[in-house]
Amino acid sequence: MNFILDNWALVAVAAVSGGMLLRPVLQGAGGGLTPGAAVQLINRDKAVVIDVREPAEFATGHLVGARNIPVGELEAKLANSVKNKALPLILVCRSGARSGAAMATAKKLGYAQAQSLAGGLNAWAAAKLPVEKV
């Protein structure tokens, strides 16, 4: 007990840093949306799915009902594709890297409920959820 009282600052730093390391694990990879949570958001809240991969990648398979806006065109085209900024957005790519960057762009454009699918289409397929092809 004396150690904790004598070294309270070190104990606090250790607790905070441990919590910061554990946070991504508890939230899913990189803090993104899990496939199961995405399904709930789509079904309950009518979330719009935006696939930010290139058209050739999109054609090989994507979430059912997803709209394709490549990440490089997102800033110019998102507002025309999703007019209601209050709707939840689920941004998807192959692994979650591009959709993470796209989420930042969407939030900058005023889509406060934009989220990235953790693990991308790879995680979606691994969860054995439906994929459609063009």
* pLDDT, tens only, 16-58: 555 444 444 444 444 699 999 999 999 999 999 999 999 999 9
Q: How many CB atoms lie within 10 A of CB 119?
A: 24
Name the token pair of 130.
Answer: 């439906």
> Is-above-0.75 flag for pTM?
yes
Q: How far is CA 76 from CA 15, 98, 106, in A?
A: 43, 16, 11
